[in-house]
Amino acid sequence: MAVNAFIFPGQGSQSVGMGRDLAAAFAPARDVFEEVDEVLKQKLSRLMFDGPADELTLTENAQPALMAMSIAVLRCLEREGGVTVRQRAAVVAGHSLGEYSALAAAGAFSVAEAATLLRIRGNAMQRAVPPGAGAMAALLGVELETARAICAEAETGPLGREVVAVANDNGGGQVVISGATAAVDRAIEIAKSHGVKRAMKLPVSAPFHCALMEPAAAAMEEALAATPPRAPVVPLIANVTASKVTDPAEIRTRLVEQVTATVRWRESVTEMIDLGVTRFIELGAGKVLAGLNRRIAPDAETLSCGTPAELEALIKHVG
């Protein structure tokens, strides 16, 4: 029998139209979208269904929208197929903001709490760095240690030392770096001499998961003190440590650290495999994590679920 990990996507997985068919077909999905709309005092679901894309992509909107999408899928799985986190998942994990989706799925936060925290998180991350002052880039065909060496070399420029660091270790030779725009530009140039196959800037609005996000980490420390997590029904594999965590106080600490720290997705997937996971179930928008997982753990099964047809297929497969 397969051992399941339920996994939840992060920013970049959003697309206009996500959740529309799910809401049309299933009451539990509509209930989640309505709850998030109400708590945020915004028709976020309309933005998800109809766009415009540039507004949905704003960090303050994309983060709660992706969580709402993931939990809507989960609620449909529970109602239509009897597939619950408590009974069918050995662990949960999420990529960056997906960690909040994972925690909501495992009962550590309510949907309303997760939506509110992610709106605070998105706003704080956007405000942490002035527009244009920070950037992110993807390095393809590179090992983690080489990416770290590139960042160390790129830190020093004409203006002195500037922040640039590994933001995401996504596996399969894909590492994302983040920091001050000039330092990221230097890193892209330096990468060529380190044999990196491709280095390209990403279309993001802020330099996530680096020290420039410290004001956002402070904001999340305050927000999580006011809305602390509860113990999840199954362990979380934390982005920051790539290891199991169940203690609410430690979860809170990891969520604050996560704002400025590397998302250790490659190691997280490897850790889940080591814990006996044989099947990953990606709940929510897109199939980004399925693509990453195929490169990290090609022998493990990964199923993505975000549409009524995928929901039906998953219930038949898992149920």
pTM listed for this prediction: 0.96
Mean pLDDT of 81-92: 96
Residues 96, 178, 205, 268: which is the catalytic one?
96
Tens of pLDDT, residues 240-281: 999 999 999 999 999 999 999 999 999 999 999 999 999 999
- Contact 111/35 with Cβ under 8 angstroms? yes
Which residue range forms the structural domain that includes residue 195?
A: 134-204
pLDDT given for residue 285 in this prediction: 97
CATH of the domain at 175: 3.30.70.250
Alpha-carbon distance 191 to 185, whole Å? 10
Alpha-carbon distance 91 to 242, whole Å? 12
For residues 182 and 314, state if they share a domain: no
For residues 44 and 92, state if they share a domain: yes
φ, ψ dihedrals at 134, nearest 5°: -130, 160
Helix (H, G, I), strand (E, B) or coil at 116: helix
Instruction: Tell me how many domains the chain contains.
Output: 2
Q: How many CA atoms lie within 13 A of 229 on its CB side?
A: 31
Tens of pLDDT, residues 168-187: 999 999 999 999 999 999 99
Domain boundary (204, 234, 259) is at 204
37 alpha-carbon distance from chain centroid = 21
For residues 196 and 313, state if they share a domain: no
Confidence of residue 140 (pLDDT cuts 50, 70, 90): very high
Alpha-carbon distance 228 to 255, whole Å? 10
pLDDT at 319 over 80: no
- Contact 74/105 with Cβ under 8 angstroms? yes
Mean pLDDT of 18-44: 98
pLDDT at 204 over 90: no
% pLDDT > 90, the chain: 95
Residue 95 designated active-site: no
pLDDT given for residue 188 in this prediction: 98
Tens of pLDDT, residues 185-194: 999 999 999 9
The answer for 315, left when phi > 0, alpha when psi is -120 to 50, beta otherwise, is alpha
φ, ψ dihedrals at 243, nearest 5°: -145, 165
Residue 317 designated active-site: no
pLDDT at 2 over 90: no
pLDDT at 1 over 80: no
Max CA pair span of the chain: 60
Task: Compute the mean pLDDT over every residue in the chain, rounded to the nearest whole number.
Answer: 96
Confidence of residue 224 (pLDDT cuts 50, 70, 90): very high
Residues 13, 178, 205, 209: which is the catalytic one?
209
pLDDT given for residue 276 in this prediction: 97
For residues 94 and 219, state if they share a domain: yes
